[in-house]
Amino acid sequence: MRILVVEDELDLQRALVRALRDEGYAVDSANDGEDGFFNAKNTDYDAVILDVMMPRMDGWEVIKQLRKIKRTPVLMLTARDQSRDRVKGLDSGADDYVVKPFDLPELLARLRAIIRRSANKTTNQIELGSVVVDTAARNIMHSGKPVELTAREYSLVEFLALHRGEVVTRTTLYEHLFDEDDSTMSNLLDVHVSNVRKKLGPEFITTRRGHGYCIE
C-alpha cells in the first residue's frame, strides 16, 4: 500500500509519515498543494492524506482537480470543523474527513476504511482458501495459525488479496509497495514473492509470465 501525505506543517507531516511507515505503508510526502497534486496525478496511490489549509493550492482545489482524473481515496485533514466545511469537503469528493487535532489510531483506522471501500470490501477479513488476511490487525492466519511475515511481505499479500483474481503487474506492485525513498532493486520484488511462497505454500501466489502476479 502506498500513501501520499500532503501537509505543509512539516513536524506534523514527518510524524504522519513515520506512523504510516510503522504500519507498513510505503509513504510519499508533499509540502504544498501543487506538489501534492503533481504527485497524486502521476502515481497511483492507494490513498492520499490531504491537508486543507496550504499555501499555493489548498486542499479543496487539489481534490477538485484530482477528481477530474482519478478515483484515488482521499482523506481530508483540517483544522476546520464547522459543519459546512465538512459538507464542502465530502461534497467536493473527499472520501473521509478528519479534524485536527486527531487521534492517530483513529486516523489509521479511517485510512484503512477508505482503502477497503475503494477495493469494494466490507470487512477487514479477506479469506483466500485456508489463508485469512486481517487488514486491521495486519496479520495472516494459515489454517488457523498465525504466520510471521515482514511488513513488506504482508503488504504484498494484502495488495494481491485486495485485487484477488486480477493479474497485478510488477510495475504496479513496485508502485504500491515502495515509496520514493526506497532504493529500487529490480529483484527485490522477486525476493519478497519467494519468501511469501515459502511461508504460505508455493501455489499461494501464481506467476503469469510476462504479465505479473496473482492470487486466485
Partner 1 sequence: MNFKSIKWRLQAWHGFLLVALVAGLMIGFYSFERRARLQSIDKALQEVMTSLLPKLSPAGNGRHNGPGDSRGFRRPPPPEFGGDIPEQAPGGFRARAVDGVDLGKFYYASWSPEGRVVSISTNAPPNLLPDERSIANTPGMIRTAGINRELTHHVPNGFRVIAGTSLAPMVAQLRQLALWLVVIGSSIVIVGSTIGWWLASQALRPIEAISRTAEEIARGDLSKRINSSETESELGQLALVLNSTFARLDAAFEHQKQFTYDAAHELRTPVSVILTQTQSTLNKERSPAEYRETLEACQRAAQRMRRLIESLLELARLDAGQETMKRVRFDLADATRECVEMVRPLADERRIVIRLELSPAGCHGDPERVAQVVLNLLTNAVQHNNDNGAIVVSTNPNNGFSTLIVSDSGPGIAPEHLPHLFKRFYRADGARTSSQGRSGLGLAISSAIIHAHGGSIEVNSNVGDGSQFTVRLPLA
Q: Does 151 bind partner 1 (CB under 8 A)?
A: no
- Annotate 68-101 with DSSP letters as a single string: TT----EEEEES---HHHHHHHHHTT-SEEEESS
**Pairing, β 47-51 against β 145-147:** unpaired
Please identify, using beta-carbon distances, which residue of 181 and 190 lies nearer to partner 1.
Answer: 181
**Cβ at position 35, least distance to partner 1 in Å:** 14
Q: Does 70 bind partner 1 (CB under 8 A)?
A: no
Nearest-5° Cα angle at 41, 35 to 44: 120
Interface with partner 1: number of residues (CB under 8 A):
28
Site for partner 1 in 90-119 (CB under 8 A): 99-105
Q: What nine digits make up the cell of 4?
A: 501520499
Beta strand extents in the chain (DSSP E only): 2-6, 26-30, 47-51, 74-78, 96-99, 125-128, 131-134, 139-142, 145-147, 168-169, 206-208, 212-214
Pick from 21, 66, 34: which is nearest to 48 by CA? Answer: 66
Q: Does 148 bind partner 1 (CB under 8 A)?
A: no
Please identify, using beta-carbon distances, which residue of 77 and 215 lies nearer to partner 1.
Answer: 77
Q: Does 10 bind partner 1 (CB under 8 A)?
A: yes
Please identify, using beta-carbon distances, which residue of 54 and 115 lies nearer to partner 1.
Answer: 54
Cβ atoms of 140 and 154 within 8 Å: the answer is: yes
Q: Does 142 bind partner 1 (CB under 8 A)?
A: no
Please identify, using beta-carbon distances, which residue of 14 and 208 lies nearer to partner 1.
Answer: 14
Q: What nine digits make up the cell of 16?
A: 504522519
Give me the sign of the Cα torsion angle 28, 34, 37, 39: negative
Site for partner 1 in 27-56 (CB under 8 A): 51, 53-56
Among 44, 71, 79, 190, binds partner 1 (CB under 8 A): 79
Cβ atoms of 163 and 213 within 8 Å: the answer is: no
Among 15, 119, 128, 132, binds partner 1 (CB under 8 A): 15
Please identify, using beta-carbon distances, which residue of 89 and 131 lies nearer to partner 1.
Answer: 89
Question: Which residues would be at the binding site for partner 1 (CB under 8 A)?
Answer: 8-12, 14-16, 18-19, 22, 51, 53-56, 58, 79-82, 99-105
